[in-house]
A and B are shown apart, each in its own frame.
Chain A
C-alpha cells in the first residue's frame, strides 16, 4: 500500500541521478578488465531506471568480480566465497521493497557456490544475478575454474585442464522454476546494457551470464570473437533484444528466437561457437518465492530479537553452573 498522496509527493520531489552518483570507490581491477564494462552497464541501468541508491543493494561473494559492491555508491554486501545468493535472498526476504542484485564470478557461483546457485534458481526470488564469467579464478592468480574450456593452462592445470567446461546457461535452464536466462559479452556494451536492463525488469530470478575478458590471466581467451563479429549470434525477438541498426551492420549473424521456447533456448545455449547473445528464456508466470511463502507478516523488533536469541541459544556454550543446564535441556 502506498498512499496516492505519498506517490504524488515523491514524484514531486523526484531526484534525478547522474552516472557519477552511483560511482563508489575507484575500481582496483586491472586496466582493460571486462568488469569495467559490466560496472558501466549497471550504473547506466540504475540511472535510467531511477533506482534510489538507498534502496538498491549489491551482494557479492569473493573474487575480482565480487569487488563490485565497493564500486557502487549504493548499499552493498561483500559476502563470503560462494554465498552471495543466500545473503541476497535474506535481504530480499526482509526487505522486498529493495532492488537486489548479485554479482558473482565463475568460481564463486559455479564452483564453491554451486549448491546455492541451483536453489536460488529454484526459489525464483526477485533478484538480478550477474555472473562475471572470465573462465578463470582471477583474484587468486589464475587457477582453472569450472567454466575454463578444456585444455586451459593455469597454475592448477599446467598441462591444460582435463575436463569439459561446465555451461552455466544449460545448467540454469535445466533447473525447476527457471524464469529468466540471458547471455551477454562485455565487449558489446549496448547489448550488455539492454540485456541487464531486461533482466532487471523481469520479476523473478534473472540470471545473466556475461562473458568477461581477463586481460591479466587469459588475454587471448576471447580474441577470435572480438575480431570476427560473425562468430557472435544475436538472438532477436519482438519480446527480446532489438539490435540497433549501427550494430546490426557489424553483427549480421542474427537469428530470431522466441524467449518463451525453453527447448530451443537449451539448444541455443549449448553453442559455444558462435557465442549466442540475447535473451534465451523468459517466463514471467513462474511464481516468486516471496509471493508464495508467507512473508507478509510484520516482524516487530521484539520478534526479531526473540528469534535471534533462540537461534543463538542453539549454539551458545554456556558457562559451567550457569543457566547452561536449562538451555542444553
Chain B
C-alpha cells in the first residue's frame, strides 16, 4: 500500500514536474552525474585523446597527434622490455600525467616547453636522476608543436593547423609546377638569345667559357664568324612578348608564396587567407579574383608555349577574352582555400549573415562555426525544449546545398575525426565545420566530458557529408563516427557492487536525459528517489519510451546516476523533458535514414518484395502439390542450356574456305619486311597499318607474284592462278606456286 502511495507521488512529479519533497529529492546540489560517466572523474589521471599536439615540424609536421600517442611512440623507442624499461616507463607516464594536468590547468605552450616544466616538477631531491633521465628522453622527441586541451579555443586551433598543412602541401606542388614553367619559358628565351646576333657578341661568348682557357681564344674573331647569317631574333615579337608576360606574371604570383624563404626585394607579400568573419573573406576573395584569373591565364599560356602547342590563330582570340568568368572549380582548387573561424558567440553577427550565400556560391572557403550551448527554447514559445536545433539546421541546410563538404562534430571528437576534417581541405568548393564546444553551459562536467556526452546522447550527433564521395547518398553521408550508429542510444555495460558486495553487470543506455542531467538548468525536471522507495513501476527511460501510451501512463521513467561517493541512484524524469528526449530521437532517426540506416523507403520495398516472394512461393507449392508427378525444382532448367558447352571451351571455328585460284595475301600476318615491294611496288602495297596486300594484280607478272611468294619470309603470299594465260613459262611457274596455294 505504501508502495502505491509512493508511486502516485512519483507519477505526479513525472506529469507535472512538481512535488519535490519527501522521497523526491531535488538533484541540484547532489553532485549527480550519469552512471556511465562514473569512471571519468579525474580526467588528468586518465589516458585519452586529449590534450593534442599540433605537430609543427619533422616528418609528421602538419599532423594532429594525441599526447598519449606521442608518449607511446617515445616509449616504444626508449623503454626496453624488462625491469629497467619498466622504471623508465613509469617515469614517462608520470610525466605524461603532469603535462596533461598543466594543459588542463590552462597552460598554453609547446610540447618541448611542457616537457621541461613537467620534468622539473617531478624532480625530487632524493632521486636527481629522474629529471636527467626525463630530459634526456625529451631530447629524443623528433617532433614538437603546440599542446592544446579540449577547451574553447581548441577547435579553431586544430582546424587552422590542419588547414595550414593542407595549404602548405598545395602551395609546394603549385610552386614546383610554376617554377618549372618559369624555367622552361626562360629556356626558350635563352635559347633564342644564344642563337641571335646579340648572343654571339664577343662578351657573351666569353662568358660561356670556363675560366681556364679564356685567354686562349680570340672571341672577337669567333663572334664575327658566328654572327654571319644568324637572325635578328628568332622569336616573333608577339611570341616573345607573350612568353615574357607569362613568365613575369608567374614569377610575381602572390597566392602561394614560400614563407620559408627570405622574401627577395620586390617579392609579392604573402596574402592572408584566414579570416574571422564571412564578409571579410568574401571581400578579399572578390578583390583578388582578377589577379587569380591572370595567373591561371599565364599558366595556361606557359604550358602551351613550353610544349610548343600555342597556335596563335586559335588561341589568341580565346585568351583575349579570358577573365574570372572563365574560371572553373578545378582552376580555383589550385589556389589557397579561404578559412573563416567564426569566434564563439559571433554566429549571429551581421558580418556573418552571408554565411549561407557564401557556402552556396561554391567559394573555395571552409567555415568553422562553433556552438557553445545546445539549449534553446523552441521559438514558438510552447515551453518545449529543443537541443542543437540551430546547429542542426545549419549543417542540414549546408548538406542540402549539394556541393558543400559538411562535418558536424563535438569538440571531444575532433581528434577521432581529424582525417575527415583534413579531407575537407582537399574538397574543391565550400565546406562547413560545425562543432559543439560546450563552453556555454553551466555544467557539472569539464568541457571534454560534456561534449562527449552530447555526442553519445545524440543531442549533437557527429556526421560528415562529402558531396564527391560516390553517387549515392549512403556513400556521401557518413554517420559512422557515432557510437553504435544503428541503435537509438548507445548501450554500454555498467559494473557495480550491490548491497551484498556482489559484482553486478547491467547494460545501460545513454540517452539525452542523461546528458541533460549534467546541465544544472534542467535540475527541476529531475528528482532523485531514495533506494528504499524504488519500485517496479520505475522503468529505465529508454524502455519507458517503448511502452504504449496506456502502459506508459502507469510507469515513470528514470535514469541511473552516481553521486559524489559513486553510489548508484535512480533519478525520475518529468514528462516535459521526456518529450525533448522523443524529439531528439526523432531527429536522430532522420539522420540514420540519411546515412542509410533503417531507411524507411528501403524497409517498405523489402516488405513488399518479401510479400510478393512469399505469395509466389506459396503458389508454387500449391501447384506442386496439385500436380501428380512433381519434378524436383532443379530439373526446371531447359535441357539444351544445360548441354551447351561453356563459351570459352568452344573451339575456334575454321576460316571460310578461300578460292585457291585467286591470288591474296594474309595481310594481318605480314611483318612488313618489304620483300614483295622490292620485287614490284605497284603490285604490292602497304595498308594503313603498313601490312602488305595485293593492290593491283595486273601491274606485274605471274612470275613476280611467284617470286614474291617464294621470298616472303612468313609464306603468306598465295599466287592463285595467272591472270594472263599468255605469259611465257607458266608451266614451270605453276609448279613453283604449288606450295603456296
Contact = CB atoms under 8 A, between A and B. Distances in A.
Interface of A: 1-6, 9-10, 12-13, 18-19, 27, 31-34, 36-37, 39-40, 43-44, 54-55, 186-190, 192, 213, 215, 226, 244-249, 252, 296-301, 309, 312-313, 316, 318-319, 322-324
A113 to B, nearest CB: 26
B671 A31 contact: no
Contacts of B668: 189-190, 244, 246-247
B334 interface: yes
Given A36-B673, A246-B668, A323 B211 contact: yes
B179 interface: yes
B304 A6 contact: yes
B160 interface: no
A40 B672 contact: yes
B4 interface: no
B471 interface: no
A84 to B, nearest CB: 23
Interface stretch (B10-18, B149-157, B444-452, B648-656): B648-656
Nearest to A226: B714
A46 B668 CA distance: 19
Contact of A40 (B308, B309, B689, B715): B689
B22 interface: no
B243 to A, nearest CB: 15
B671 A298 contact: no
B673 A33 contact: yes
A15 to B, nearest CB: 9
B669 interface: yes
B704 interface: no
A154 B314 CA distance: 60
Given A13-B311, A319-B212, A3 B300 contact: yes
Contact of B177 (A1, A247, A297): A1
15 contacts: A1-B177, A5-B296, A5-B300, A5-B322, A10-B307, A10-B309, A40-B689, A43-B690, A186-B671, A187-B713, A188-B669, A226-B713, A298-B183, A299-B183, A319-B213
A19 B296 contact: no
Contact of A189 (B176, B211, B331, B669): B669
A12 B714 contact: no
A9 B331 CA distance: 14
A10 B304 contact: yes
A9 B675 contact: no
Contacts of B297: 5
A235 to B, nearest CB: 15
Nearest to A33: B673
A113 B652 CA distance: 43
Given A309-B210, A312-B210, A44 B689 contact: yes
B572 interface: no
B273 interface: no
B685 to A, nearest CB: 13
A10 B315 CA distance: 10
B328 A4 contact: yes
A32 B672 contact: no
Contact of B674 (A31, A213, A309, A318): A31
Contacts of B307: 10, 55
B331 A3 contact: yes
A31 B690 contact: no
B212 A318 contact: yes
A249 B652 contact: yes
A6 B652 contact: no
A13 B318 CA distance: 13
A318 B318 CA distance: 56
Nearest to A313: B210
Contact of A1 (B174, B183, B314): B174
Contact of A3 (B303, B311, B652, B672): B303
B194 to A, nearest CB: 11
A189 B671 CA distance: 6
Given A31-B678, A323-B211, A36 B309 contact: no
B302 to A, nearest CB: 9
A249 B669 contact: no
B671 A36 contact: yes
A309 B211 CA distance: 10
A195 B174 CA distance: 37
A13 B179 CA distance: 26
A298 B176 contact: yes
- Residue of B314, B673, B674 with most partner-chain A CB within 10 A: B673
B597 to A, nearest CB: 35
Interface string B623-643: 000000000000000000000
Given A249-B655, A316-B210, 10 more contacts: A1-B173, A1-B177, A3-B299, A13-B309, A32-B675, A36-B673, A189-B668, A190-B669, A316-B212, A322-B212
Interface in B283-341: 296-297, 299-300, 303-304, 307-309, 311, 314-315, 318, 322, 326, 328, 330-331, 334
Interface in B166-216: 173-174, 176-177, 179-180, 183, 186-187, 190, 210-213
Contacts of B110: none
A268 B176 CA distance: 45
Contacts of A252: 651-652
B300 A54 contact: no
Contacts of A301: 183, 186-187, 190
B124 interface: no
A34 B653 CA distance: 30
Nearest to B313: A13
A31 to B, nearest CB: 5
Contacts of A10: 304, 307, 309
Contact of B331 (A4, A19, A247, A296): A4
B688 interface: yes
A299 B655 CA distance: 59
Nearest to A26: B674
Interface string B654-696: 1100000000000011111111001000000000111100000
A78 to B, nearest CB: 22
A325 to B, nearest CB: 12
B176 A36 contact: no
A303 to B, nearest CB: 9
Contacts of B314: 9, 12-13
B711 interface: yes
